[in-house]
Amino acid sequence: MFSSEGGFLTTSVDAVVNWARSNSLMPMPLGLACCGIELMGFAGPKYDVARFGSEAMRFSPRQADLMIVAGWCSFKMAHAVRRIWDQMSDPKWCISMGACASTGGMHRCYGVVQGVDNFLPVDIYVPGCPPRPEALLHALMDIQEKIRNQHSVAMDEREKGEPAYLTEGSIVAPTGEEIRHVSEAH
């Protein structure tokens, strides 16, 4: 939401925050199997994810906001992956890369989780075995689009009336003062 007139540029805080956030995603690379090699290609000089501001791979969950699960995940590993996800601070996003991460793929066996969405809230699935780095770049662009379209509660209020998920309760200012009370009768 940008507009310019007479040398001025006006926008909303939401648009600026989402724009900045979408262009500075810090991936947590979880190369669990062969898809991890394509993940390395995605970060390397040929495909150059730095063009999208996401070259800063972070191996600490405290500094990452985009988990990329690349490869099949065993039940044993799932606990570690979930713990890393829980340690990442909000807002955060998740890409499931490849057939194995998304569905278990060819590993139809007792030891492999049949899709990481059994224990993670996946935002984007990347098909293929293995998906090429371009496909992962496309997934990253989809995440960027999703972030740019995110609205704050304040914007929901302004544009749609009540926030859809709030049927009863209060919207409270940081000072503790009730801004608005919403009841089911609304």
Q: Given the complex with ligand SF4, which of 22 and 131 has the nearer CB atom? A: 131
**Beta carbon of residue 70, minimum distance to ligand SF4 (angstroms, whole number):** 7
* Nearby residues of 105 by Cβ (< 8 Å), 6 or more positions away: 72, 98, 99, 129
Between β-strands 178-182 and 66-70, what pairing exists: parallel, antiparallel or unpaired?
unpaired
Binding-site member from 27, 105, 115, 133 for ligand SF4 (CB under 6 A): 105
Rounded Cα distance, 66 and 62, in Å: 11
In the three-class reduction of DSSP (H, G, I as helix; E, B as strand; rest coil), residue 83 is classed as helix
Cα-trace Rg, the chain: 20
**Beta carbon of residue 33, minimum distance to ligand SF4 (angstroms, whole number):** 4
**Beta carbon of residue 153, minimum distance to ligand SF4 (angstroms, whole number):** 38
Q: Given the complex with ligand SF4, which of 70 and 147 has the nearer CB atom? A: 70
Per CB under 6 A, 33 contacts ligand SF4 = yes
Ordered alpha helix ranges (H), the chain: 13-22, 35-43, 75-87, 98-103, 133-148, 153-160
Binding-site member from 34, 135, 166, 182 for ligand SF4 (CB under 6 A): 34
Per CB under 6 A, 93 contacts ligand SF4 = no
Per CB under 6 A, 39 contacts ligand SF4 = no
User: Which residues contribute to the site for ligand SF4 (CB under 6 A)?
Assistant: 33-35, 71-72, 98-100, 105, 129-130
